[in-house]
Structure 1
Amino acid sequence: MHRYLRVCGIPVLLFYVISLTVLTQSGFTVIEILRDTPQTTGQSSFLGFLSNIGVWFWVSAAAISLARAFSFEPDGDDAIRRLLILVGGFSLVLAADDFFLIHDRYIAEGIVVPIYAIFLWRLLSKHRQTIFRIDGFAFIAAGSMLAMSVAVDAVQEVIGIPYSVNQMVEEGFKFLGAATWLYFCFEAAAVRVRQAVMPTETPLDPIPAPLAQPGE
């Protein structure tokens, strides 16, 4: 009970109370804070469906990575543990960015995106062996699709295609990139599990010597 209160119960209650207080002081009503957007606007429950699923991908990647990183056995692979902490923390940042539209409304995309790119490049440079031991293709595919999403957004005015088409392509790349990132995080978290359950090789039983014939 004490561990639950210290790790979960009290922190979550404080987060709820502080969030409610700050948001009400910022001008939101209690109903606006507590009710979902479709309820507040009277729109369909599927409003923003794919966008919300994309946020789930980031949050799931963070949860899987960090939960596994902090539950490693004392003799676990420290390189994978460090990688899980990095990708889990980065997933949380991406989840917050996607959910709160940080790079769209608060910090210029020209600042945020290069920081993300530098982080991924440094991650690949310093942990290349570990990443490719897990699944190098998935890591590079995730980064490439996210980069394509940014590229499509950057050239949308130059290409001259309808905005709706541009959004479908841009968000499609981001959706696939987020799903691929989740896949990589799952593979990284499962490495130690697979090693633990993998059956060990046992030497073959020796071939029995032929029975001696009578008189030999």
Structure 2
Amino acid sequence: MPENNALNTKHGGEWKIAWRLVILAAAAINVAMLLAALFVAQIRGLDAWIFYRDPSAAAEVGFYTGWISSLGASLWIGSGAATLFAGLLTRRWDCTFLGGLTLVLGLDDLLLIHEDVLPIVGIPEIVPMIAYAAAGLFWFFRLRRKTFDGTIVFVAAGFLLAMSASIDQLGELFPTPGSAAAIAEDVVKELGIFLWAAGAVGYAAMVTRLGRPWVDPADPNSAD
């Protein structure tokens, strides 16, 4: 049968080996996470199950707790992964850097790395914030392709994210009663995330278009 012959080709064998590596990598990562959870639980006197539970269930609060924050982190991570993939696919350093930065920002936001994790090891919150700002400015002024027509989106996103960080820092220096300042910070931050994610995906689309022309199936002269 032709189908059986195709499976015996070198190309088919390469794909089979690749998927085996994916399975092994997924298993190894999950084992590493389990060991890390057991280790931290041991030294912190916690139940390792806490690392696998949903935060709202663990805190015994409403299921809607943190919905908007989680949505923002998901947008950052999703757009970062897509942009990083586009950069690696087209071998474009500018797109790869943007995707990696966006992905790191999303993971930081989701896992509270610069807010809670790094201060435990003595790294002030302001240090990673400065590093992120420097990386963003480096990409914008040195790596960004000048032909990108969505520059204004990144300008607006950067301004809003900087404003959110400023509100957060001012809130720590001058605490205010109520939640108005916290809500203002998060609203501005979420808008910045939405714009950044849109810009990142748009940039990935532009780079992919430049790296490999789109194919129109209806056009006989279109080449793949």
TM class, shorter-length: 0.7 to 0.9
Identity of aligned residues (%): 24
SS of the equivalent of 2:150 reads helix
In 1, Cα distance between the equivalents of 2:132 and 2:49?
35
Residue 23 (structure 1) aligns with: 37
Residue 5 (structure 2) aligns with: none
Q: Deviations over 1:2-60 (max 9, x none)?
A: 11121x21111111111111211222434323221223333322121111111101101
In 2, Cα distance between the equivalents of 1:48 and 1:82?
34
- Normalising by structure 1, we get a TM-score of 0.78
Residue identity opposite 2:23 in structure 1: G
SS of the equivalent of 1:26 reads helix
Could you tell me whether the CA contact under 8 Å between 2:167 and 2:181 is conserved in 1? yes
Q: Which runs of 4+ in 1 moved over 3 A?
A: 157-163, 192-195
Answering whether residue 161 of structure 2 is matched by residue 116 of structure 1, we say no
**Bigger mean CA deviation after superposition, 156-165 or 104-113:** 156-165
Larger CA Rg, structure 1 vs 2: 1
In 2, Cα distance between the equivalents of 1:98 and 1:131?
29
Query: Offset of 1:132 from its aligned partner?
Result: 5.2
Q: Deviations over 1:183-211 (max 9, x none)?
A: 01111111145563498xxxxxxxxxxxx
SS of the equivalent of 2:179 reads helix
Residue 55 (structure 2) aligns with: 37
Answering whether residue 204 of structure 2 is matched by residue 189 of structure 1, we say yes
1:62-81, aligned counterparts within 5 Å? 62-72=80-90, 81=92
Residue identity opposite 1:41 in structure 2: A
CA RMSD of aligned residues (A): 2.3
1:47-62, aligned counterparts within 5 Å? 47-62=65-80
Query: Offset of 1:96 from its aligned partner?
Result: 2.2
Could you tell me whether the CA contact under 8 Å between 1:134 and 1:187 is conserved in 2? no
In 2, Cα distance between the equivalents of 1:42 and 1:155?
30
- Normalising by structure 2, we get a TM-score of 0.76
Figure out how many residues of one structure are paired with residues of the other and give that number: 190
Mark the runs of 5 or more structure 1 residues left unpaired by the alignment: 73-77, 200-216
Could you tell me whether the CA contact under 8 Å between 2:56 and 2:63 is conserved in 1? yes
Query: Offset of 1:175 from its aligned partner?
Result: 0.6
Residue identity opposite 1:176 in structure 2: L
Residue identity opposite 1:20 in structure 2: L
> Is the alpha carbon distance of 1:127 and 1:38 closer, same or farther for their aligned partners in structure 2, counting shifts above 3 Å?
same
Residue 97 (structure 1) aligns with: 108
Could you tell me whether the CA contact under 8 Å between 2:83 and 2:200 is conserved in 1? yes
1:116-195, aligned counterparts within 5 Å? 116-128=132-144, 130-131=145-146, 133-156=148-171, 161-192=176-207, 194=209
Answering whether residue 97 of structure 2 is matched by residue 86 of structure 1, we say yes
**Bigger mean CA deviation after superposition, 21-30 or 154-163:** 154-163
Residue identity opposite 1:22 in structure 2: A
Residue 208 (structure 1) aligns with: none
> Is the alpha carbon distance of 1:94 and 1:163 closer, same or farther for their aligned partners in structure 2, counting shifts above 3 Å?
farther
In 2, Cα distance between the equivalents of 1:2 and 1:198?
30
Could you tell me whether the CA contact under 8 Å between 2:95 and 2:207 is conserved in 1? no
Could you tell me whether the CA contact under 8 Å between 1:64 and 1:186 is conserved in 2? yes
